Structure 1
Amino acid sequence: MAEAITHQQVDSVQAGSSYDVEQAVLQRYGAGAQQPEAELCCPTEYEPGYLDRLPQEIIEKDYGCGDPTRYVAVGETVVDLGSGAGKNCYILAQKVGASGQVIGVDFNEEMLALSRKYLDEMADKLGYRNVAFVKGKIQDLALNLDQAQAWLNQHPITRFDQVAAFEAVCDRLRQEQPLIADNSVDVVISNCVLNLVRPQDKQQLFREIYRVLKRGGRAVISDIVCDEDPTPQILNDAQLWSGCIAGAFREDVFLKMFEDAGFYGVEILVRQDQPWQVVDGIEFRSMTVRAFKGKEGPCWERNQAVVYKGPWKAVQDDDGHTLYRGQRMAVCDKTFKLYTDPNGPYHLGILPLPPYEEIPLCAAQPFDCSHNELRHPRETKGAEYRATVTNLDSACCGPESCC
């Protein structure tokens, strides 16, 4: 077996390849829009009922490796990266309802034509229209490629010096008419598409996902991962690139990409037990990951504390805070809100201890989050707290209690 290479070497391997990753993907998925190709799809079970209203053509020609649609709620605005034939978008249309919105992003003309073909039919079936399919690259969610193409049609490039004018137009479109605006989306999903992006564009891809999400929003991504770095032979195989193998993330690297982009609460929701494929002894399988946006911001002291319930002796969050089981840990206002948000990743393991007398935010002092400290009960109760209370309404030691 050939010696494996690291993800840091991928760029140099790709640079010497005799094929273009984007063209290989476009050609194969363009063909997949015309004729179903089973090898592009990792078998996936979707929630019962949501496929019943979908045209059979969409079901047959849409390819994925998981079901990120399970983690979306009514009324949310959702972007589907690499929306393909539109299966996930039309499922989401039912889940978010008439008050929600679904935007599918793809840059394959054949797939866009297929997904758009059923917009009217699905709107009639659902009784509302809340889906749009737009043309763009998922690593550049600000640039509307239809608008860029319209400019090109009117200003064909015949000389090299005209390229700069086109690039300036693209920059203006990104700023003035972004395809997906900053902080505008509740959820970004993707189903087996991130691995198809060129290696040199993947960091930008995660930054774009982060950019478009609202504070408190989340990414739910199903993709193919591997347990070892792909070999040079795998990386230089165009068929394996378009087949969701060569571009697969190593499992730990996949999670770190979210961390490096600024996400918190990164969690593996589903990991396929048995590998989908094994190539050169390397296992490739489906994994679904969820990650949240919104841990940045100032830290203010408002005498709040939390208790980690267990079962681990201690845990550490993405900002470096260590929580010790059963201990009253002092936290800033921002962290307290992150830990106790019912829609966030932490609240089930946390007991919140707010102060008896709330400190107004305008009166709060800066809180030093660089080290971990315990919070004395008097800080949350107040130094002058001297109450003696017997709760006669409590069943703690009532006639039927164990006292």
Structure 2
Amino acid sequence: MTYLETAAQFYHDVAQTPQIGLCCVQSTLLQLPGLKIPLPMQEMNYGCGTTVHPAELANQPTVLYVGVGGGLEALQFAYFSRRPGAVIAIEPVAAMREAATRNLEIAAQENSWFDTSFVKICEGDAFSLPIADASVDVVAQNCLFNIFEPEDLTRALKEAFRALKLGGRLQMSDPIATRSIPPHLQQDERLRAMCLSGALTYEEYIQLIINAGFGQVEIRARRPYRLLDTATYNLDTNLLLESLDSVSFKVAIPEDGACVFTGKTAIYAGTETFFDDRAGHILQPGIPAAVCDKTAAKLAASMPNEIIITDSTWNYDGGGCC
């Protein structure tokens, strides 16, 4: 049985018998006015963070959600796009499609604003999305892509890129590893399906996103996720997994490389009235300006005594310059 077949069987099982505690079901759900999330959805919240960022969802975007799970985030996306077919949910596991359909019917009973027509659940997978080129505003996935082998992850990212309109956004939440996961854990197909052994390091993960063609990546959150301890997982030292929420934009990659925003700022501490690097960045004395990591490195190298670069906050919500 391949790791994808193992994952399909695993999620078939948890669709029929929800496992409280799988992934981050114990985490606090995003609270939105007038939105009631049915209990079965909460019990099937098999994600490690969130892909629903309200600031990204103006003008009722069309959302392609890959891996519907219990339907929770599909419902949350529909909250911002209240029209038939606004959310297209792709799911390869029949039992999960059936469970999500039931849960959305309950949601329609509990939320007067919601109609089940807002979410269209379709059979399909991340490698061959049943969507035309450049046809959706947002592609989202939560704690699915991390189970893929790197080659399959590359395929999934390129498919997401293909489906997005120019300027569209890939909104993801996945575990990452603080160091490379040992082969004996990577090869454990059930642990991979449980989002515990397929995670890449931050650097590897971001580079694959850029390799797929995304010219700008913004980190919305980075937080502790799980600890793989020495005794349980046969490790020399404990290994921390983190949850990473990111938004990647389908824009051209600049000649000097993609822009990755992690919450760094540049502060001019010189004596002139302003600093202009002649590349689009004008810094006023003492005022932090959000910059991408690439620009932060260039500024630090060019004016090490007059420009202060702050550390990554791993919580960037837009508004910077690159």
Same fold (TM over 0.5): yes
SS in 1 for 2:53: helix
What amino acid is the match of 2:281? Answer: V
SS in 2 for 1:38: coil
| Residue 211 of structure 1 pairs with residue 196 of structure 2 | no
| Residue 264 of structure 1 pairs with residue 215 of structure 2 | yes
SS in 1 for 2:52: helix
Q: Distance in 1 between matches of 2:200 and 2:140?
A: 17
- Higher Rg: 1
TM score, norm. by length of structure 2: 0.74
Structure whose residues are more often helix by fraction = 1
The 1:261–1:53 alpha-carbon spacing in structure 2 relative to 1, beyond 3 Å, is same
Q: Distance in 2 between matches of 1:286 and 1:138?
A: 20
SS in 1 for 2:166: strand
Task: Name which of 241, 247, 263 aligns with 1:284.
Answer: 241
Unaligned runs of 5+ in 1: 1-18, 142-178, 299-303, 328-343, 351-403
| Residue 92 of structure 1 pairs with residue 77 of structure 2 | yes
Matches within 5 A, 1:235-274: 235-272=186-223, 274=224
Q: In the TM superposition, what whole-angstrom CA distance separates every residue of 1:161-185 from its partner, at most 9, and x where no partner exists?
A: xxxxxxxxxxxxxxxxxx1111111
The 1:76–1:312 alpha-carbon spacing in structure 2 relative to 1, beyond 3 Å, is closer
The residue that corresponds to 1:77 in the other structure is: 62
Unaligned runs of 5+ in 2: 230-234, 256-277, 304-315
Q: Calculate the aligned-residue CA RMSD, in Å.
A: 3.4
What amino acid is the match of 2:51? Answer: P
Q: Distance in 1 between matches of 2:39 and 2:317?
A: 36
Q: Distance in 2 between matches of 1:308 and 1:112?
A: 51
Using the TM superposition, give the Cα deviation of residue 133 of structure 1 relative to its aligned residue in structure 2, in angstroms.
0.8
SS in 2 for 1:182: coil
| Residue 132 of structure 1 pairs with residue 83 of structure 2 | no
Task: Name which of 39, 63, 67 aligns with 2:46.
Answer: 63
Matches within 5 A, 1:12-161: 19-42=1-24, 43-49=26-32, 52-71=35-54, 72-74=56-58, 75-98=60-83, 101-123=86-108, 125-128=112-115, 129-141=117-129
Q: Distance in 2 between matches of 1:239 and 1:116?
A: 26
What amino acid is the match of 2:8? Answer: L
Count of paired positions: 272
Identity %: 26
Using the TM superposition, give the Cα deviation of residue 55 of structure 1 relative to its aligned residue in structure 2, in angstroms.
2.3
Q: Distance in 2 between matches of 1:291 and 1:79?
A: 14
The 1:255–1:97 alpha-carbon spacing in structure 2 relative to 1, beyond 3 Å, is same
Using the TM superposition, give the Cα deviation of residue 121 of structure 1 relative to its aligned residue in structure 2, in angstroms.
4.7
8 Å contact from structure 1 (residues 313, 324) kept in 2: no
8 Å contact from structure 2 (residues 175, 225) kept in 1: no
What amino acid is the match of 1:126? Answer: W
